A and B are shown apart, each in its own frame.
Chain A
Amino acid sequence: MAAVKETIDTVQKLETYEHGFVSDIEMEFAPKGLNADIVRFISAKKNEPEWMLQWRLEAFERWQSMDEPDWAKLNYKRVDYQDLYYYAAPKQKVAPKSLDEIDPELLRVYEKLGIPLKEQMVLAGVEGAPRYAVDAVFDSVSVVTTFKDELSKSGVIFCSISEALREHPELVRKYLGTVVPQSDNYFAALNSAVFSDGSFVYIPPGVRCPMELSTYFRINASETGQFERTLIIADKGSYVSYLEGCTAPMRDENQLHAAVVELVILEDASIKYSTVQNWYPGDAEGRGGIYNFVTKRADCREPRAKVSWTQVETGSAITWKYPSCILRGDDSVGEFYSIAVTNGMQQADTGTKMIHLGKNTRSRIISKGISAGKSSNTYRGLVSAHARAAGARNFTQCDSLLIGKTCAAHTVPYVEADTAKAQFEHEATTTRLSEDQLFYAMQRGLSQEEAVALLVNGFVRDVLQELPMEFAVEAQKLVAISLEGSVG
């Protein structure tokens, strides 16, 4: 109840995109454009081992022979890959050893975003309040990771991927690219060649990670692509809940974000991965905004592994994103809960893939798409069962809500079963936000904006319940803000 109330207050208070500020921080750029030398430059900047450079160059070579995919229901001006910066980092002479050494302007940015980076501030908070370890990625570089010492006591490794390459090269080498290979797709290949940073997590066998881990991504620099790479390994019998948040300034140009997330889940382990994506969506005429081309995949590599993706997608001009589950281990479980909101001129083509390879694997898809304005919102999902996946089961529910008369919703489910012993269910609904419901709520005292927020929150409730508590409140507010001005 408090959340609904807070949503309503927020809607009344906020501008359409509150994270649209630009910060003036001294940056270091690589020259514009992409070639093998830029790949070498990035690798050298990060003091990477030789094998990593070779891996990147291989990816770059593969990328050059690939074509940008065009099968998604998306219409956008193609990116000129030679007109982008591939490396931008806050200028700092030496790597910071503590928060005191970080550019105060940078800390102010995160403060503005409401992200606590100072552990002592977090610790000074209300007793019993949940704590989050945070990795903050600013443009291409991870600037700070909090609570590292406390986490390391339980053997959990949480750091930037650059640091992981230096401190734990054997782990990175063993798992990097094993879920999303270098040449998996056009954007993954590009990411593999030029990724600049991202988060790395390793949970040792039998360990339940003592706190939520989270990464905040911020694109700040102009004409810069952001390519982060996240690698999470949950060793046998372990558990971790990981949250990811994204924002960017308002700019007239389109900015490219091509990330790769790989999750490796071993026997009896479980990863809960939540995303609240709020990249700048562009203005009402469709100028500017982030192109979000992201490859996220989880590999349930061993028996009884479990992964749960929850995503709240409200930002980006273009979204191309299908967090997927490879259910390789017998009895492994994949879940996908999604809220995708499009307004204005936004276009989203998003969904999931559930690949059932092992016996008795189970998956569940709950997708809630909300379209408003002149936007287009497509759910695209694949559920497949391999010949040996006897007893595989899937349940899919896709609901679309239309607000107004100029938006579109599409549902494109693909189902493939190579065994007769699989059981797949699919339910789909499309409804329009009803005038009658709005009038009813308004007659009881809610303004139009408040009524829309309440009804939409009702529509997405099943998915919000899957998010960690604090994120759910934030997500609920975000959904309402994204739809501001969509009626009447």
Chain B
Amino acid sequence: MLNIQNLTVSVDDKTILKGLTLDVPAGEVHAIMGPNGAGKSTLGYTLAGRSNYEVTAGSAALNGEDLLEKDVHERAAAGLYLSFQYPLEIPGVPALTFIRTALNAQRKLRGEDEMSAPEFLKTTREVAKSLKIDMDMLKRPLNVGFSGGEKKRMEVLQMALLKPKFLILDETDSGLDIDALKVVSEGVNALRAPDRGMLVITHYQRLLDHITPDRIHILVDGRIAHSGGPELAHELEARGYDEYLGEAA
């Protein structure tokens, strides 16, 4: 599914990722944990294709397709979805308009037919209900004036409608109270599928109580310092990142 080899990335001439190697097979959920500044968000942005993230070495492929040579929107159409830590507000563009425009742009790029307005509305209504999102909210400009929890639910709504092959969740738990965390996690868990992979980026173990990963990788100073099973989260919670910091240095 997702294969990253020796990925080296600089931002403004500062090297952040220093030869990161990672494989996430289809059907699995992997978590990336690590201290602040380790390069967790950089990994998400780089895979999504953000312009000032310069790949100086290595490769990244999704289902054998080279991601790094594609434009941002082509990566999205190839099935890569990045859930933002801070979803952006889009003034004047109703959420429904935004999502449908995005969905049809992806379909067009893949050579598929557009989804009709009635079909789109029907599907959206179902998904929105499961995420406890009111349809009236979707007529408002996307994320404008939404609470942190509402914004994260909109991210999950979008992934459920866009049906990506691979999901990257960047600090999805930040700014969520416990009820919102539950709704969001359930939404994400519902998307777990044998042909879909996920990478959950998080600083805390809290989210992993709700979205149980198959593997956990510890990212320190731009490299995977250690990998293990789901039990690793609790060890980290108890002992912190200190021992890995030493290892990496």
Contacts and interface: CB of A to CB of B under 8 A. Distances in A.
Interface of A: 1-2, 4-5, 8, 434-437, 439-448, 450-451, 454-455, 457-462
B244 interface: no
A458 B91 contact: yes
Nearest to B45: A439
A245 B155 CA distance: 41
Contact of A455 (B48, B93, B100): B93
Contacts of A459: 91-92
| Interface residue range, chain B | 35 or more
16 contacts: A5-B101, A5-B114, A437-B88, A437-B89, A440-B84, A442-B49, A442-B73, A443-B75, A443-B82, A444-B102, A447-B71, A451-B73, A458-B91, A458-B93, A459-B92, A462-B92
A8 B98 CA distance: 13
Contact of A458 (B51, B82, B100, B141): B141
Interface of B: 48-51, 71-73, 75-77, 81-82, 84, 87-93, 96-106, 109, 114, 117, 141, 158, 162
A460 B93 CA distance: 10
B93 A446 contact: no
A11 to B, nearest CB: 12
A450 B73 CA distance: 10
A1 B88 contact: no
Prevailing SS type, chain B contact patch = helix
Given A444-B106, A446-B105, A454-B101, 9 more contacts: A1-B117, A441-B98, A442-B73, A442-B76, A443-B73, A445-B76, A445-B103, A446-B101, A451-B73
A221 B104 CA distance: 43
Contact of B105 (A435, A445, A460, A462): A445
Contacts of B114: 5
Contacts of B75: 443
Contact of B50 (A434, A439, A455): A439
Contacts of A457: 92-93
Contacts of A2: 117
Contacts of B77: 445
Nearest to A459: B92
A1 B76 contact: no
A443 B104 contact: no
Contacts of B76: 442-445
Nearest to B104: A5
Given A454-B101, A457-B93, A458-B92, A445 B48 contact: no
A457 B106 CA distance: 20
A109 B92 CA distance: 36
B101 A4 contact: yes
A243 B38 CA distance: 59
Top 9 closest pairs, chain A to chain B, by CB: A458-B92, A445-B106, A458-B93, A444-B102, A461-B92, A442-B72, A440-B88, A445-B76, A445-B102
B93 A8 contact: no
A457 B97 CA distance: 11
B97 A447 contact: no
A87 B92 CA distance: 45
A1 B50 contact: no
Interface centre among B89, B99, B101 (most CB of A within 10 A): B101
A429 to B, nearest CB: 10
A441 B84 contact: no
A450 B92 CA distance: 15
B43 to A, nearest CB: 14
A462 B90 CA distance: 14
A446 B102 contact: yes
Contacts of B87: 440
Contact of B97 (A4, A435, A462): A4
A437 B143 CA distance: 12
Nearest to B103: A445
Contacts of B158: 444
Nearest to B143: A440
Contacts of B106: 444-445
A111 to B, nearest CB: 29
Contacts of A446: 73, 101-102, 105
A440 B90 CA distance: 9
Nearest to A444: B102
A439 B141 contact: no
A456 to B, nearest CB: 9
Contacts of A445: 73, 76-77, 102-103, 105-106, 109, 162
Interface centre among B51, B87, B92, B109 (most CB of A within 10 A): B92
